[in-house]
Amino acid sequence: MNHPVVIVGASMGGLRTAESLRRFGYLGPITVIGEEAHKPYNRPPLSKEVLANEVTHEAVAFEERAATADVNWVLGTRAVSLDQEHNTVTDSSGMVHPYSALVIATGLRPKRLNLANGDLAGRHALRTLDDAINLRAELTPGADVVIVGGGFIGCEVAATAARLGCDVTVIHHSAHPMLRPLGTELARQMQLRHEAEGVRFLLNRSVVGVSGDSRIREVQIDDGSSIKCDVLIEAVGSDSNTEWLESTNIDLSDGVLVDSAMRAISTSGDFIPNVYAIGDVARFANPIFDDVPRRVEHWNIPTETAKRATSVIAAQLNEDEKLEKLLQDQFKPVPSFWSDQYDIHLLAFGSLSLSDTVTLVAGDVTGECVFEYHRGDQLVGVCGIGMRSVVQSYRAKFI
Amino acid sequence: MIKVEVDMTKCQHYGQCVFEAPDIFRLNSDDKLEYTAEADDSERANIEAAIDVCPMQAIHIVE
Ligand SMILES: Cc1cc2nc3c(=O)[nH]c(=O)nc-3n(C[C@H](O)[C@H](O)[C@H](O)COP(=O)(O)OP(=O)(O)OC[C@H]3O[C@@H](n4cnc5c(N)ncnc54)[C@H](O)[C@@H]3O)c2cc1C
Ligand code: SF4
């Protein structure tokens, strides 16, 4: 009897891997080990419409498909180590799972601020459903909400909290929120639209401390000032969940380094047989842009990388002669991204943060608009507010 | 035949579905989603791919 394909991480990436294995004709056993107690659910609504209403698993759960009804879900359980030599994963209950192929889909977790007094109540980060449930309970009208980090998640939460009647301040390390991906003109415009909704920005600033009795009451800023705070939300980026792989020779310098077939790469540069990584944790080169491996924290990437990895795994396990040809294929998924803040819907394709020049090409920045992002003379991204058809028409330019 | 349903209270007209199943989904001249509610069985794989890429998880196949 064949060992199962073992997938570690039961979020979108893990789910898409299981579904896609079936689609590529793999009929054998599949085990998914996931630290969270919940079946896979969709994270983006946790900072947007679901956070604004009621946060429940039902509101965000992915629909289950008949093809994956026989998947063995081992939930509320963490993978703690990988034995490459014997092809096994050990979980936090002590169970050893032999695998025919292993897919690492352990994603990211939020970075936290390193604060003296850090055990005061009222600190939050947002990645999981449970995080969102805890945060939702504190977003009451009139609450002083301080968000550290004006990236997409920080700004989405700011918008949601402002609409819920909270008093919102965003502390951000650069001159405008979302500056790095969006560029000055669009970022400044987004800031203005937030300010019109009552959100305050403390820019080129950082947090140096918090104070209170058992709960946070005040946040200290690096210019010597203090602001009132009931709820502190830390949205300052993420770290890869790769500690459980530390005793292996996989290159973990930033997530899991993989080749174009999503096979894990060792520190000496060889691929590791039967070990793959996908989703937010996978670092891969995308020939659309260049040959530099990067992690991509966009929602369409778990699905695209799961498809790529499983086409190879299924061909390998089914001893399909297509395998060699498959491995030669280029893998170049078009990153796609969206963000909803108030009634503003941003849609982007490509990789905006690689750009050095940003140009308005359609519309008006105060209304609907489209920007092109170039690195030298290469188009690397497009982003728009509204004007969907125009933004959409760019996608083909990347393929 | 497959019956397709899009929850229009959820759909944000991102049009990601259009890339996966262009014969079923399109954006009209107002950039709003339009779709064909009944599709041939041969479209199933495309429709499932559209379901996967819909950010709002608004698309369903009703059996
Ligand atoms: C609040 C929020 C809003 C977002 N909004 C957008 C958006 O608008 N647009 C967009 O493009 N993207 C957005 N994203 C990003 C998108 O959700 C991610 O790209 C996607 O969730 C990545 O999926 P994944 O499966 O790779 O990783 P994850 O979703 O991070 O899943 C990894 C899973 O692995 C589990 N795990 C970790 N370690 C272990 C272990 N040792 N053993 C077992 N299980 C483990 C974790 O508990 C987790 O459940 C958002 C993310 C968040 C958090
Ligand atoms: S992908 Fe989903 S949200 Fe976007 S247009 Fe299609 S159904 Fe609507």
The answer on A280 and A243 residing in a single domain is yes
Entry pTM: 0.96
Residues 6+ apart with CB under 8 A from A114: none
What is the band of A306 on the pLDDT scale with cuts at 50, 70, 90?
A: very high
The answer on A277 and A232 residing in a single domain is no
Residue that is written with structure tokens 């750009």 in the block: A355
**Residue A101: predicted pLDDT:** 98
Residues with C-beta less than 6 Å from any ligand 2 atom:
B 6, 11-17, 25, 33, 54-56, 58-59
**Residue A272: predicted pLDDT:** 95
CA distance A394 to A371: 11
Does residue A7 contact residue A107 with C-beta atoms inside 8 Å?
no
CA distance A209 to A205: 13
A274: closest CA among A316, A233, A219? A316
Residues 6+ apart with CB under 8 A from A53: A59
Residue nearest to atom 8 of ligand 2 (CA): B11
The answer on A94 and A19 residing in a single domain is yes
Residues A41, A47, A49, A51: what is their CA dihedral angle, to the nearest 10 degrees?
A: 90
For the segment A55-84, what is each residue's pLDDT rounded down to a tens digit? 999 999 999 898 899 999 999 999 999 999
Residue A195 inside a domain? The answer is yes
Final residue before a domain boundary, out of A328, A354, A369: A328
**Residue A116: predicted pLDDT:** 86
The answer on A388 and A367 residing in a single domain is yes
Cα-trace Rg, chain A = 22
Does residue A107 contact residue A34 with C-beta atoms inside 8 Å?
no
How many structural domains comprise chain A?
Answer: 3
Does residue A194 contact residue A182 with C-beta atoms inside 8 Å?
no
Final residue before a domain boundary, out of A204, A236, A268: A236
> Residues of A with CB below 8 A from B51's CB?
63
Q: How far is B10 from chain A (nearest CA, A)?
A: 9
- Mean pLDDT over all residues of chain B? 92
The answer on A151 and A265 residing in a single domain is no
Cα-trace Rg, chain B = 10
Residue A374 inside a domain? The answer is yes
Residue A174 inside a domain? The answer is yes
Q: Which tokens belong to A351?
A: 């990789």
CA distance A341 to A347: 12
pLDDT at A233 over 80: yes
**Residue B5: predicted pLDDT:** 95
Residue that is written with structure tokens 């297509």 in the block: A322
The answer on A319 and A349 residing in a single domain is no
**Residue B21: predicted pLDDT:** 95
What is the band of B63 on the pLDDT scale with cuts at 50, 70, 90?
A: confident
Of B15, B27, B55, the CB nearest to A299: B55
The answer on A27 and A130 residing in a single domain is no
User: DSSP character for A44?
Assistant: G
Final residue before a domain boundary, out of A304, A328, A352: A328
> Are B51 and A63 within 8 A, CB to CB?
yes
The answer on A243 and A220 residing in a single domain is no
Residues of A with CB under 8 A from a CB of B: 16, 19, 23, 42, 44-45, 62-63, 65, 299-300, 303, 336, 338, 340, 345, 347, 386-389, 392, 395
Check which CATH number belongs to the domain holding A123 and give it.
3.50.50.60
Residue A221 inside a domain? The answer is yes
What is the band of A2 on the pLDDT scale with cuts at 50, 70, 90?
A: confident
The answer on A227 and A132 residing in a single domain is yes
Residue A333 inside a domain? The answer is no
Residue A87 inside a domain? The answer is yes
Mean pLDDT of A115-127: 93
CA distance A313 to A316: 5
Mean pLDDT of A180-189: 96
The DSSP H or E segment spanning A312 is helix A300-317
Q: Looking at ligand 2, which atom is closest to the CA of residue B50?
A: 1
The answer on A316 and A275 residing in a single domain is yes
The answer on A185 and A224 residing in a single domain is yes
**Residue A118: predicted pLDDT:** 83
- Mean pLDDT over all residues of chain A? 96
Residue A338 inside a domain? The answer is no
CA distance A310 to A18: 8
What is the band of A1 on the pLDDT scale with cuts at 50, 70, 90?
A: low
pLDDT at A117 over 90: no
| Parent domain of A144 | 112-236
Residue A337 inside a domain? The answer is no
Does B61 lie at the interface with A, CB-CB under 8 angstroms?
no
Least-confidence region, from A68-82, A223-237, B37-51: B37-51
CA distance B51 to B63: 15
Residue A344, beta-bridge partner list = A341
pLDDT at A155 over 90: yes
For chain B, list the domains and their CATH numbers. 2-62 (3.30.70.20)
For the segment A242-282, what is each residue's pLDDT rounded down to a tens digit? 999 999 999 999 999 999 999 999 999 999 999 999 999 99
A215: closest CA among A119, A116, A120, A134? A120
The answer on A310 and A229 residing in a single domain is no
Residue A74, beta-bridge partner list = A33
